[in-house]
Structure 1
């Protein structure tokens, strides 16, 4: 068996010893973002009789506290894109001493650190690519250490193939949404509308996501600016999230004279309740894979207007559950929002279709089952060798 095969098929001793599979989740950031929420749900729902989970992240905060509350052991080490030897040494000692069977990386910096540790310890490595494209660092690490890449949408899958990634070391496990936690329901009596002093029947349009360049929050503000004329006075817009563009967006808000129309809420705790307070969800991203905020809103019964980028066309059925528009086309974005605000029956019909689609196609349970199956296949013990092609098609359900 050559070195490439060993990297994927090397045994974890878990199954042979009759114990739980020990997975070390190596997470390259610890903000309140889509990738972190995905990891939280994975850790929270992996069967505890089959999996033991530890977490590696770059610093303490809300994310690490949440994972501890879910039962994970949490360790913090620096994670620059160019890993320092002290971090490599500490993590490889952790892996050896605690009997880790599988390394699971998220984000390129974590992939780089986990890749070095994988080579030193001969523990197999899975890297989930949450963005719509592989970065150069992800590709370099994959080629150097033969990690298995799991992508979350078809766009990313075929992009990886186009870069020369061996399909035997590549699979697609699409994101899922918690349709039990996110569902239609009555609007909270004391929520966002109460904070705004907004009547329950007044139109409320939302942007939900990290305030960072790839999400295009400035495009949302510019579309709102185009919409000012002719909208009912009671119509309001909210931007929910944190990020590096917050100060610039506040300045843009003042420049456009939108202070009475738009509220920047910052972090919001009750996300299921917030989606129920909205009438329409707008996504203006320049780059996405399968954004959880969009899927959560749709599972909550919201129609959407979203840019046609990355994996979003795999989520939104144009004309049925929402509208797809070109990135940066603020005129089309504004026009679709105006149309939806003017037609409550259309909003209701599309929102119901969005909810049904998330339940039938993109529920979280089957999505996490596919990831769990992939983990177990990659960490299969030596006396149960598997063919690489068996692993490569596990999540390719399209």
Structure 2
């Protein structure tokens, strides 16, 4: 079978990228995609998206003027989804495919192989799944990883170094900064005072994100400091379960379920501290957003988290129970998070120093414009061989 020729962007023509997303909730991966496409130069790129279902996320994309297509995405992809991607390539002049999550990567890489279209997959997790490795090897798709742990694994399993790029996540520093909101606004919304000490959790309320560990840490802290308040910002399948658990523990008056905050950048400046209790994470945007907003973070050091927090300077890292690979004066897992938070509550000057250093570190290393520029450079690099081949054919 002869592979279809790749569609090449003409000089001065926008590069048309089809972003294929394996989910369409309001989550870290989706925020990554929105941040990325917002920073790609509009005069150079046209971006369309394919998502597995309609949602508030797809509605927001359409309001922004993006073309959004819907098709089912599974780890064993339906042929009609592969067929749709191939059709979009041919009929809409797509020059490059960019996939997110394994289900999207699988379908997109097959379509890319069938149409001769360069394919990039960003792996948002802290480790590579066997199927993802197999897809890369069998289709030749390029892989972006967001943390060093995933990059090390990619090298260890024998993926070609020139087929894997490490591009850390970033945040919009004009949106996430200590001046993004009046700290009193969010506090009024959850009915606490401006002088109350407020500790936050920001993320999807799902098992892998560890919101139950945050609740346990809150209960531990409140047994010793009943004046502290906690805000859980986010929504998910565990929301009802967590609210009921807070009620059974008798901490509901100080444990505020804030739900999905429409503009999370408006909530961060109200927090005195954030606890990050994920069971698995690569480079969580919540930590980057908190740092950029001047919020010290106490975190369980899974995945790429130790690459973000400068422990003792911008926050504190705690080892996990399963892998106590982080040396700390505190216990492991959520108990250590609670103990470290208690210690910091009693050190206001240290918290203030951590806040200032967090902002400096975010500005130095985690500007979304830097991540978008690196991704754009990779896109152009992948398109260059096809462009050069087209030029040779035009000469001959």
Per the TM alignment, residue 11 of structure 1 is displaced from its structure 2 partner at its CA by 5.2
2:67 is aligned to: 73
User: Structure 1: which 5+ runs fail to align?
Assistant: 386-398
1:1-398 matches, within 5 Å, as 12-14=7-9, 16-185=10-179, 188=182, 191-233=185-227, 235-327=228-320, 329-384=333-388
Which sections of structure 2, spanning at least 5 residues, go unmatched? 322-332, 390-396
How far did residue 41 of structure 1 move? 1.0
Counterparts of 1:247 and 1:264, CA distance in 2: 10
Number of paired residues?
A: 377
* Distance apart, 1:270 and its partner CA: 2.2
Give per-residue Cα distances to partners, 1:105-134, cap 9 Å, x unaligned: 000000011012112111111000011111
Q: Which piece of structure 1 moves more, 301-310 or 244-253?
A: 244-253
Separation in 2 of the partners of 1:140 and 1:124? 17
TM-score, with structure 1 as normaliser:
0.91
Work out the CA distance in 2 between the residues paired with 1:300 and 1:79.
Answer: 35
User: Matched residues in 2 for 1:207 and 1:325: separation?
Assistant: 16
What is the CA distance between 1:312 and its match in structure 2? 0.8
1:236-267 CA distance string (max 9 Å, x none): 10111111222222232223222112111211
* Contact map agreement 1:284 1:327 (CA 8 A) in 2: no
Post-superposition Cα deviations, 1:130-161, rounded to whole Å, max 9, x if no partner, equal: 11111122112112111000001111100111
SS in 1 for 2:299: strand
Q: Secondary structure at the match of 1:288?
A: coil
SS of the residue aligned with 2:43? coil
Between the aligned partners of 2:98 and 2:224, the Cα distance in structure 1 is 51
Cα distance in 1 for partners of 2:224, 2:87 equals 64
The alpha-carbon deviation at position 190 of structure 1 amounts to 6.3
Decide whether the 8 Å contact of 1:12 with 1:21 is kept in 2. Answer: no
Q: TM-score, normalised by structure 2?
A: 0.91
SS in 1 for 2:252: coil
> 1:186 deviation in Å?
7.5
Distance 2:276 2:214 in 1: 8
SS of residue paired to 1:80: coil
SS in 1 for 2:205: coil
Deviates more, 1:274-283 or 1:360-369: 360-369
